[in-house]
Amino acid sequence: MTSEPVTYLKNILSYQNLDGLITADGYDMIEKEKIVTNHNQAKVLARLVKEVGTANYNGGYANGRAEQAFEDGKKMAEFMKGASQGE
């Protein structure tokens, strides 16, 4: 049975649409090792999970934008090369 503080953590993350950031195994580990034993700890861990999730998302988004900019630059270079050769 899951302790009330861990259930509270799940509810906080679910309310913020972040419930997929901790797996069932992760919650089991939190429960087994008694990482979260009160509501304040649950709030702090939820905040940290949100910050890490946001940082990972933003990092991935930035990488995707950089890759897209590189591809766009290559296409523009090919276009300009063709235009300068009268194509």
Average pLDDT over residues 27-36: 94
In tens, the pLDDT along 50-70 reads 988 887 777 766 666 777 777
Report the chain's mean pLDDT, rounded to a whole number: 84
The predicted pLDDT at position 24 comes to 93
Question: What pLDDT is stored for residue 87 in this prediction?
Answer: 56
Backbone angles phi, psi at 12, to 5 degrees: -60, -50
Q: Is the pTM of this model over 0.75?
A: no
d(CA 6, CA 62): 33
pLDDT tens profile 70-79: 777 777 777 6
List own/partner pairs for 28-35 with CB under 8 A and 24 or more apart: 30/6, 31/2, 31/3, 31/6
